[in-house]
Structure 1
Amino acid sequence: MHVHLVFVTKCPRGVFNDEMLTRCEEIMRKVCEDFEAELKEFNGERDHVHLLINYPPKAAVSKLVNSLKSVSARPDTAGGTSRPKAGGEFTARINHAIMHGHLQLPSYFSASCGGAPLSIIRTYVEQQQRPL
């Protein structure tokens, strides 16, 4: 089964740069592995990220999303988790007054990818205008 996920930052101007997106992808790949899922495609722009994930039927998308967001959304590394948090590595880029302690909005976009050819979705994700 495949799902296309989009997570948006709270800051409308965005905070992501290429280094942050690269680190976020590394961390999210590890989370997917923990769910026996595969991150097929990852990309983003200054204010959002796209993920195309192949996941087993036994994995609940909501639990996968919660794990993905928890390791990438908080700009601090507190919380007792052994997983690295992407936001904690880039606190200099994050304005806590605007973010209120969180990098991403609590909501997200999720779409099942059963109807569209995966090549079309992969191309769409690849064509995001990744910041330098």
Structure 2
Amino acid sequence: MSPRWNPNPDVRTGRHVVYNLRVHLVFVTKYRRKAMTDAMLTRCEEIMREVCESFEAELKEFNGEEDHVHLLVHYPPKVQLSKLVNSLKGVSARLLRKEFDTHVRRYLWGGHFWSGSYFAGSCGGAPLTVVRQYIDNQQHPEG
């Protein structure tokens, strides 16, 4: 790295890449059932933090309500986002159903915990208008 460069802890480096990838994920319980308790949310965060670490990603923020959770994940470019999501949902569903079985069975059945769908939104960095303007202002070489 150039000595002129001020290190930003959010900008990570790999062997051939410099990156800052963040995604906002939202997972909703099956049928939007209000199945989550405070203890379950706390455990869900622990589980999801461990899953992220196994992908060399970092769970920056986590919170939720009775029927959904929000995650902010900082992840490397080698991670396929759909695989990360499948692992986050699969591992958390399995462990939450196992550890909170009696409670979960009152709300959810058939082996399901999360809805099959999810929200993923890229976030962080400059607003799109600034990025567009930066790209538009690049100087083409003469000739």
Partner of 1:105: 115
Partner of 1:62: 82
TM-score, scaled to structure 1: 0.74
Q: Secondary structure at the match of 1:106?
A: strand
Compute the displacement of 1:12 (Å): 3.1
Compute the displacement of 1:94 (Å): 1.4
Compute the displacement of 1:87 (Å): 2.2
Compute the displacement of 1:39 (Å): 0.1
Compute the displacement of 1:60 (Å): 0.8
Partner of 2:53: 33
Change (3 A) 1:116 1:11: farther
Moved segments of 4+, more than 2 Å:
95-99, 114-117
TM-score, scaled to structure 2: 0.69
Partner of 1:47: 67
How many residues are matched?
A: 107
Structure (1 or 2) with the greater strand fraction: 2
Distance in 2, Cα, partners of 1:62 & 1:107: 11
Compute the displacement of 1:99 (Å): 3.0
- CA RMSD, 1 decimal: 1.9
Fraction of identical pairs, as percent:
64
Query: Structure 1: which 5+ residue stretches go unaligned?
Result: 75-84, 118-132
Residue-by-residue CA offset, 1:5-58 (whole Å, 9 max, x unaligned): 000001434110110000010011000000100000000000000000000011
The reply to whether residue 14 of structure 1 matches residue 34 of structure 2 is yes
Partner of 1:4: 24
Distance in 2, Cα, partners of 1:56 & 1:97: 36
Distance in 2, Cα, partners of 1:66 & 1:110: 12
Change (3 A) 1:101 1:33: same
Looking at both structures, which has the greater relative contact order when contacts are Cα pairs under 8 Å and sequence separation is at least 6? 1
- On the 8 A contact 1:10/1:99 being kept in 2, the answer is no
- On the 8 A contact 2:44/2:96 being kept in 1, the answer is yes
Q: Secondary structure at the match of 2:24?
A: strand
Distance in 2, Cα, partners of 1:96 & 1:107: 22
- Letter aligned with residue 110 of structure 1: A
Q: Secondary structure at the match of 1:16?
A: coil
